Amino acid sequence: MNQLKLFLKMLKGSFFDLLPIIAVIAFFQIFILQRMPGDLVSIVTGLAIVAVGLALFIQGLEVGIFPVGENLAREFARKGSAFWLLLFAFLIGFSTTIAEPALIAIANKAAVISEGRIDAMFLRLTVAFSVGFAIALGTFRILTGHPIHYYIITGYVIVVVLTFFVPPEIVGLAYDSGGVTTSTVTVPLVAALGVGLAGSIRGRNPVIDGFGLIAFASLTPMIFVQLYGLVEYAVGGEEVVRAMAMSVAAEVEHSRTVGQHAMALLLELADVVRDVTPILVVIFFFQYVIIKKAVPHLPRIALGIVLVILGLYAFIVGLEMGLFPIGETMALQLTERDNRLLIYLFAFLIGFSTTMAEPALLAIAHKVQEISAGKIDQLVLRIAVATGVAVGIALGAYRIVAGDPIHYYIIAGYIVVIVQTYFAPRYIVPIAYDSGGVTTSTVTVPLVAALGLGLATNIEGRSPLIDGFGLIAFASLFPMITVMGYGIVTEWSIKKPKKEHV
């Protein structure tokens, strides 16, 4: 009965989370495009399924994923073995990334188009290794208590330096890679690991030290992909890279067509199970073989895992029925109109509304509010993150229209983040860094990618490869700026009354 009440509460919240998306789509359809969607019933049904999926997913996290992740962290801390903890962190990052469907599709396509010059498995191993290395490095930081900004700023400097040496065809893809390697299931589990570990080590603060692992997982792939591109593409072969991009775009279009059939729905469920399975294998191996203890409350944990799988499945099916088709159609219709301001407005509003409904952000925001004992309000945090995504995507859309090189914008953004880091309160810095990784997930990435490729394809003189990619990088960067800005303003508003009182 308690679980049912919890689900109904989550369901109500999910419908409210979807209202901004519905409002944006309705506004543009009725007042701007002045067209009604072709299949209104399918769209409404799809959005209802999305709401149910969100509710199931969040409930599953609370019941299963968060408890098992935090329990493992406590057991590792009690066991006192840094080696096994770091190995666990590496394998969680590696195993979840190597099975990422988007990574598999791009790696296989790269191997075909390059006629074997690029080895698909080696590319997947490179990216997966970078994420595994990131989670292990972030865990090491928690163990040592080092300030997170030393690591992150060093990583930004490396990314910026590499940008001036890699081919321009790789820069956008490399920047985007940081936002697509962490899946919706990985993010909550990694967050639970960090928070649980920081809470189990004396002298560590779960808020200051527990967050930040996702930031590492978003940063290192940019470095590794740029290095990979430097080796693979610097010798030439621009046409090969362009052909790969067009082929990947065709693959995406093919997936949309197949996704309309009933068989694709079953394949979606198989994909979700496949994505979750490596995580479960790693968790239960370490729980039973290394720690040598049974999982506490196993039936409850199993229920949570099933709810997560069903929730993700319903969420994806609902998106394909209700949101993706109309979102992609609207992006195409807007690029065909001779009004750039409408494109920027749509980019801003769709960025804000989709981020507010992002499952990974919902999970992290709830955890942040819980760990901070209400000091950081989850709704205000989500609004700050969503505003950052909205500004980032709108600015990224302007960059595509103007044809400016992406690295000028990204480097300027990194400078702002570095400066803010030294003024923001310590408790907000790791959360701000993590915000860049949780915004580019299940909802945001497909719509943002479709918008970027649509703009680059339909604007004369733009390349889908050089100009079409990069919006995800903007959506990952600007939330860090807005969240740290939120922390700075909040701290200033608290201190100001004290000074006046004195």
What is the residue extent of each domain of the chain? 2-501
CB 478 within 8 A of CB 395: yes
Q: Which residue type, as a one-letter code, is found at position 138?
A: G
Q: What is the CA radius of gyration of the chain?
A: 22
Give Cβ neighbours of residue 280 (< 8 Å, ≥ 6 apart): 305
CA nearest neighbour of 325 among 263, 262, 252, 256: 256
pTM: 0.77
Q: In 338-404, where does DSSP find H-type helix?
A: 340-356, 359-371, 378-402
* Nearest CA-CA partner of 260 in 471, 26, 38: 38
C-beta separation of 484 from 384 below 8 A: no
Token pair listed for 491: 């701290």
> What is the helix, strand, coil percentage profile of the chain, to 5?
80, 0, 20
Residue where the block lists tokens 């509003």: 349
Residues of the chain with pLDDT under 70: 1, 37-38, 99-119, 169, 173, 179-185, 233-265, 323-325, 327-328, 331, 440-447, 450, 464-466, 496-502
Taking the C-alpha atoms of residue 397 and residue 447, their distance in angstroms, rounded to an integer, is 13
- Residue 37: predicted pLDDT: 67
Q: Which residues contact 71 (CB under 8 A, 6 or more apart)?
A: 196, 295, 296
pLDDT at position 240: 42
Indicate the burial class of 358 (C-beta count within 10 angstroms; 0-12, 13-18, 19 or more): buried
pLDDT at 498: 58
| Cβ pair 180, 472 in contact under 8 A | yes
For residue 235, the 8-state DSSP code is T
- What H or E segment, with its residue span, contains residue 172? helix 168-180
Contact indicator for 340, 32 with CB cutoff of 8 Å: no
| pLDDT reported for residue 138 | 92
